[in-house]
């Protein structure tokens, strides 16, 4: 029984419980093999919500290790509908870097944007906007070296008809403050930057 529990045969346990025939050895083996899900890290940071200073000043903020997309040249950022009425008063905010839920992976951002916002809204979270993302990158630079982190709370127009969201990532030459088209696909290796409401 312990061997069956070790390979995750929970369905058998359910059947045993339903029939009233479970045995203590099987249950104990399941408990001992249970893998605890690691607690998700919450990052409390002060956010100023100051207007972004432009590409050159942002590159200095990145300590010369990487580059900043021309999206950050002072152009207007439009907030996603779920972020229009956020509290932009300077102060402490709780951030979380989250996995993309399985049901939203391998879909284009624009096709699941609203459903993804509703999914996290139920959890009391929202997408980070561009200013929050830049301040998060400044305070926690090591996180973007491990994962590509997307902030879906705002987007900027580049060219005539293509919108981009903020992406924190690392490249051969260091950290990058970049953009990703809303027509691009959300892959499982990427992460989302969320703010607790």
Domains defined along the chain, listed by start: 2-33 (no CATH), 43-196 (3.10.100)
Q: What is the mean pLDDT of residues 168-197?
A: 92
Q: What is the pTM assigned to this prediction?
A: 0.78
57 or 118, which is more confident? 118
Rounded CA-CA distance 47/53 in Å is 15
| DSSP 8-state class, residue 73 | S
Q: What is the three-class DSSP state of 8? A: coil
Lowest mean pLDDT among 9-18, 86-95, 104-113, 158-167: 9-18
- If one counts every other C-beta atom within 10 angstroms of the C-beta of residue 14, the result is 11
134 or 60, which is more confident? 134
Q: What are phi and psi of 31, to 5 degrees?
A: -60, -45
Q: What is the three-class DSSP state of 63? A: coil
pLDDT for 30 beyond 80? no
62 or 83, which is more confident? 83
């Amino acid at each position: 029984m312990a061997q069956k529990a070790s390979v995750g045969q929970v369905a058998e346990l359910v059947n045993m419980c339903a029939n009233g025939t479970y045995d203590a050895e099987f249950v104990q083996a399941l408990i001992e093999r249970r893998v605890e899900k690691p607690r998700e890290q919450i990052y409390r940071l002060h956010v100023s919500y100051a207007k972004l200073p432009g590409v050159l000043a942002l590159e200095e903020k990145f300590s010369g290790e990487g580059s900043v997309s021309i999206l950050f040249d002072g152009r207007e950022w439009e907030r996603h509908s779920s972020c229009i009425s956020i509290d932009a008063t300077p102060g402490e905010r709780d951030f979380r870097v989250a996995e993309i839920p399985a049901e939203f992976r391998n879909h284009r951002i624009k096709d699941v944007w609203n459903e993804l916002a509703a999914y996290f809204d139920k959890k009391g979270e929202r997408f980070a906007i561009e200013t929050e993302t830049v301040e998060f990158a400044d305070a926690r630079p090591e996180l973007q070296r491990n994962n590509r982190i997307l902030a879906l709370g705002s987007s900027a127009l580049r060219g005539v008809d293509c919108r981009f969201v903020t992406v924190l990532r690392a490249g051969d030459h260091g950290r990058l403050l970049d953009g990703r088209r809303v027509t691009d696909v959300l892959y499982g290796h990427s992460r989302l930057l969320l703010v607790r409401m």
